[in-house]
Chains A and B, each alone.
Chain A
């Protein structure tokens, strides 16, 4: 996901290990204690406020952490509310019925979310970031209409409000709601400070990089989206159970936009902020609408505008940073760079070529970017692809790393065809790609970036944060050689350009690929850095039996380290051989320099 959705700034100060526990107990006391002395009215109001607080914090997980802008919260909430309403009005107004309704709501919400996820996350075409927002917007409106259609079941425009519900005192409901809020908040915070939380932030920062690190991001996004929406649906059922309000307006856009407003005001990616914002706004609403019935909506609008203008990170982070505290709820790696070096991975034996490109063509409409390119790369080769601009070098790289890119031809990695598979599958086959502009995770530290790479696409632990990092020898070599140790705990966007290139290279190598594609790795590097990279690459090719494909303009660099050079001009492979052969080829010279007048008229 692009930077559009990243929070503006993640403050850097960390909590000590004991602190979260202390904070939780303060919050727990504040929330649970008043249930003994809280009046009926306030208990009832806070039950609703806590329910919306949970909805807000779950939406923060989806949006603030994973970066998915969703308008579906109200539709999901409505699914829950209507499930419960239908159960209590038409079937069985008992606790058992309620549980059944909640389960049904969770199931339906999960299915609908999965369908939406399939629609929005799995498309091969490059959908706009807003596409999911648009789909969920449409879904909310459609659901609102559907509710009106099925009038006999859903009560039509009147809804199903006012049914007999379980009889509990408001204080008892309060205890349940408060417990639910604490539990959801704690679980959310725990998950977000785990490895899985790291994965979510990585996807938000740079989804494409994740895919090229073998992570099946559409699946992760859909799963998180579905689970969170199911929880929102459960909250809708809880709301209906308590208030007995089940009406089409619950399903409409008002709640969906309110939830997003709470998240922004409270502070995206803070969990606590959105929950607090939701609770405060919900609790204040009846007070406002009874004391200033004609003006309160305008006042709210003013608060939103001012909030967005002057508290860009949200109310909570701004307040906390003003009093000198940070907002990171997860613990950090200790200061020193610590990682183990793993053993050399024995690649699958086989003497076949590690990469086979057969008659690959790529067309953009009538423009032929690549025509009938065939190439075979063996282990231990350092192959450079050279050619003038627009020759199709990057197109070729794209075709190799993404099964959907080429228009025709076959590409095999280690004998297995990549078919039409997406980048994560191709990466899992052993293709590592380093982009021209260093593609890393901006808000994550160097250590965290490396950690993500070492997962090799496996979904990490949901609750625990691992502190041990084992790097493949190739990656470790890059880290040591290019001095990434010194910036181990620095956010990736704060390190130098050369270090970012090194970081990306290390990340790619941490996957232990069998073929690594580097797109202009020396761009913007100093002479020293260039030399070091060259040395590292040569060494890796020799000792690790890697295959490296290099796209480079720096001919000196190419000459120094390549074992083989391939020339691409206007989409066609023009020459393929050692440096000497290629450099002395007349064709190549002509392609680069053109023919002299004399040669032309000769």
Chain B
């Protein structure tokens, strides 16, 4: 008797397992559509890097609304699928594969470089275009990828020149112990000698450092008058600047230059970063009409929930619009046509002005230098004009099926 009971239950367990998998499978296979398009937006909403994801999501949602209000794509609606990669490349991979199974037509993503190198092979295998809506160090030349944010080579050298013009010449670099931090430090090291700047010290701090006092002491003792901070991630930037101000170091330096303290993060730092400079293609406080329109649209849509936009979220807005323009121009969501069209369209209502991607897969950007005020906002103090990125991809990647 017992034997039969057990067999019954074992069988039912097996059936339950099988049907669960069946349901998953069914959910995974979405139906193909004839008009409209689906964009998958992936960023971090949990884990280490989760602090700026929401601003990007809002920019994406706003852009999608605007696209649909202006007629959508290919006579249908542009649909947005948002996903969280949990600040983990392994999860990112699974999420991208799921979105591929759900038949997204394009990826727009703001993820870390670690995630980026892990997930792009998925898009390559599925032949789906991807737009990287992030500022990064440059160098990624995959055929299916475009980068809608600026890259460091566009910014670092002119930035250093500006900082030098403010009267400082002895540099101390504090950078995060990540690839981006090391690459940027290398760029500064290369550019410094020709500008007559000397580097008195470098320090790489691990992610999530809570106590910067010995680093601050080191900077003070080095005799440097120009501090360049290339810390990655919001928590480190906030902690560093709060501590630098309260220790008196900030006040004793001639010039402080940031490379990653964006608007969103500055709001949390408040007046502690007052006087420090930042270089970026976008500042929330940019008084241009285009930007004001963007900001009021965000405010209208999200009200009190509006997150402060910055260089890590505004490119998402541009990317969505660029993609819609490209699809409409190409008349199809087919990848090689879209990739070609992406290098031909211009988004003229960008908060940055006019944004255009190039066949080199990166974009020319207006570069501004701003200074932090006592209110925790940036005030643009200099415009470096539109900076072309140095050639990243030589030869330029083809628009067809990769590899």
Contacts and interface: CB of A to CB of B under 8 A. Distances in A.
Instruction: Establish whether A and B are touching in the complex (CB under 8 Å).
Output: yes
Interface of A: 15-16, 18-19, 22-23, 26-27, 29-30, 34, 38-42, 44-46, 48, 145, 148, 151, 155-159, 161-162, 243-245, 247-250, 254, 282-283, 285-287, 289-290, 293-294, 296-297, 320, 323-325
B89 A245 contact: yes
Contacts of A254: 47, 88
A320 B8 CA distance: 12
B228 to A, nearest CB: 19
Interface string B96-118: 01111110000000001111011
B238 to A, nearest CB: 20
A323 B89 contact: no
Given A23-B10, A26-B10, A254-B88, A159 B114 contact: yes
Contacts of B100: 41
Contacts of A145: 206
A293 B45 contact: yes
A324 B98 CA distance: 38
A158 B98 contact: no
B381 interface: no
Contact of B182 (A40, A151, A250, A286): A151
B84 to A, nearest CB: 4
Contacts of B21: 34, 38, 42, 46, 283
A41 B84 CA distance: 18
A157 B98 contact: no
Given A157-B178, A290-B83, A48 B94 contact: yes
9 contacts: A15-B6, A18-B3, A19-B6, A45-B97, A156-B178, A162-B120, A243-B90, A249-B89, A290-B98
Given A39-B25, A156-B179, A297 B46 contact: yes
A158 B83 contact: no
A325 B25 contact: no
B10 A296 contact: no
B27 interface: yes
Contacts, number: 150
A46 B28 CA distance: 13
Given A39-B29, A48-B94, A157 B113 contact: yes
A286 B94 contact: yes
Given A244-B121, A245-B118, A156 B97 contact: no
Contacts of A23: 10
Contact of B83 (A26, A244, A289, A324): A289
Given A39-B101, A286-B95, A289-B84, A156 B182 contact: yes
- 5 pairs of A and B residues whose beta carbons are closest in the complex: A41-B101, A161-B118, A293-B84, A157-B178, A286-B98
B93 interface: yes
B11 interface: yes
Interface string B68-102: 00000000000001111111111101110111111
Contacts of B115: 247
A159 B117 CA distance: 8
Contacts of B94: 45, 48, 282, 285-286, 289
Contact of B10 (A22, A162, A293): A22
B17 A287 contact: no
B125 to A, nearest CB: 10
B27 A287 contact: yes
Contacts of A158: 113-114, 117, 179
Interface string B180-193: 10100000000000
A245 B25 CA distance: 24
B14 A29 contact: yes
Contacts of B114: 157-159, 161, 247-249
Nearest to A159: B114
Contacts of A155: 179
Contacts of A15: 6
B86 A297 contact: yes
B64 to A, nearest CB: 15
A290 B118 CA distance: 18
A285 B90 CA distance: 11
Contacts of A22: 7, 10
Contacts of B101: 39-41
B46 A151 contact: no
Contacts of B180: 157
Nearest to B90: A245
Nearest to B46: A297
A289 B9 CA distance: 32
Interface in B1-38: 2-3, 5-7, 9-11, 13-14, 17-18, 21, 24-25, 27-29
B24 A287 contact: yes
B203 interface: no
A75 to B, nearest CB: 15
A26 B120 contact: no
B286 interface: no
B84 A296 contact: yes
A249 B120 CA distance: 17
Nearest to A279: B17
Most chain B beta carbons < 10 A, residue from A39, A42, A145? A42
A294 B17 contact: no
A17 to B, nearest CB: 11
A161 B89 contact: yes
Most chain A beta carbons < 10 A, residue from B7, B17, B95, B118? B118
B182 to A, nearest CB: 7
A537 B82 CA distance: 77
Given A161-B114, A324-B5, A289 B121 contact: no
Nearest to B7: A22
A320 B10 CA distance: 10
A249 B121 contact: no
A153 B399 CA distance: 32
A515 B5 CA distance: 52
Contact of B121 (A38, A162, A247, A287): A162
Contacts of A285: 91, 94
